[in-house]
Amino acid sequence: TLQLCIAQLNFVVGDMPGNARRIIEAARTAYDQGAKVLITPELAICGYAAEDLLLRPAFLDACDDALNTVARELAGLKGLHVVVGHPEGGGVRTRSVAVTRRHNRASVLCEGRVVCAYDKRELPNYQVFDERRYFEPGHQSCVFEVRGQHVGLLICEDAWFAEPAQAAKAQGAQVLAVLNASPYHVGKSAEREAVMAQRARALGLPLA
């Protein structure tokens, strides 16, 4: 049995210290209740959707600082894996320009370090979504082990397509953890549940 906790919290755009604090508090509560995995939403560190703030190197640096704070503060929670949604901007800084390849990332923290990370593969660009403006797509699956169980990561739009989930299963995933964030849309919950149920049935895997 693997007990997971999903932190559906009110993350605030641009409040990286506050969002880090919310994740830390949720992780400590989940740990006390016996959870071994905590899943936070897509881009939880910076809030969704941060839009053109993501183009600022200083904003990405502040997100990195917040992620490091979460890792440091939770280092003593033995065996707890915390999946944190955040923007990643691993670029090169020069005196006059920042050359950055940004990703919509989920990092898995355990005992003070990042044990693995996953970059969102399917970037929506329709209606209110404009993720290709801000991010480059990932290309790799991410599966991590907790108490003998293998957890595969997906981020939001990835789960609406068959291939990313199939790739995670091929890499050994026994359960899928899907980080999500979206602007509110009337009727979307039922549609999302139906698609996620279809994905779980097609793969024969549980999906959180």
Catalytic residue among 46, 88, 110, 120: 120
Looking up tokens 């907790």 gives 146
Q: Classify residue 43 by its DSSP letter.
A: T
Alpha helix segments (H runs only) across the chain = 16-32, 57-73, 162-170, 188-203
Residue 5 appears among annotated catalytic residues? no
Q: Is 196 exposed, middle or buried (0-12, 13-18, 19+ CB in 10 A)?
A: middle
Beta bridge partners of 93: 98
Tokens encoding 203? 């793969």
Among 42, 88, 131, 157, the active-site one is 42
CA 101 to chain centre: 17
- Residue of 5, 63, 142, 156 with catalytic role: 156
54: tokens are 């993501």
Residue 116 among the catalytic residues: no
Gap between the Cα atoms of 51 and 49, Å rounded: 6
Q: Is 42 a catalytic residue?
A: yes
**In the 8-state DSSP scheme, what is residue 2?**
-
Residues tagged active-site:
42, 120, 156
